[in-house]
Homo-oligomer: A and B are copies of this chain.
């Protein structure tokens, strides 16, 4: 590769939540995103959007976790391994989480959101509005993905 130079990011805020891992996984939890007060002005107008992308840093992943390149989807050993870039696994070279959360309220530098699956204390890297261009029709997903979804609906 042309370069392996490191890229430096700084958290723009942190997640605060009392939800259990189970609640986070099922996207039921309410959480707060406490944004650095010096960046509050960057939130101006965000309340006009019902949903936002939250990009966050999965800070519990170790250097060796970042070397994992294949995983069994959702830890199902019965399913063939897939490359991490073909999954939303937390194991990946740059463990950036990407979740669409419902924006319930903004109070100063604090956003209250629903559906964020990041654990308490997670550093937040960026927030972006979700808009109509993010809503695609006619997408294709693999069979193993459809199978997992069918199972979920039977739960």
A residues near B (Cβ < 8 Å) are 1-14, 35-37, 39, 41-46, 48-53, 55, 57, 69-70, 81-88, 92-94, 96, 98, 100, 123, 125-145, 149
Known: A36-B1, A129-B87, A130-B136. A142 touches B48 (CB 8 A): yes
In the complex, the chain B residue whose C-beta lies closest to that of A111 is B85
Q: Kindly list chain B residues whose C-beta atoms are within 8 Å of the C-beta of A36.
A: 1
Q: How far is the CB of A15 from chain B (nearest CB, A)?
A: 11
Count copies of this chain in the complex.
2
Which of B10, B98, B138 contacts A98 (CB under 8 A)?
A: B98
Measured CA separation A85–B8 after assembly (Å): 19
* A98-B128 contact, Cβ under 8 Å, with A11-B3, A11-B4, A141-B49: yes
Nearest chain-B residue to A121 (Cβ)?
Answer: B2
Find out whether the CB atom of A132 lies under 8 angstroms from the CB atom of B139.
yes
In contact, A94 and B9 (Cβ under 8 angstroms) = yes
Known: A10-B93, A14-B2, A55-B98. A44 touches B86 (CB 8 A): yes
B11 touching A8, Cβ below 8 Å = no
Chain B nearest CB from A85 CB (Å) reads 4
15 A/B residue pairs, CB under 8 Å, sorted by A: A6-B10, A8-B8, A42-B83, A42-B92, A43-B83, A44-B83, A45-B83, A45-B86, A48-B142, A48-B144, A48-B145, A51-B136, A98-B98, A131-B139, A135-B137
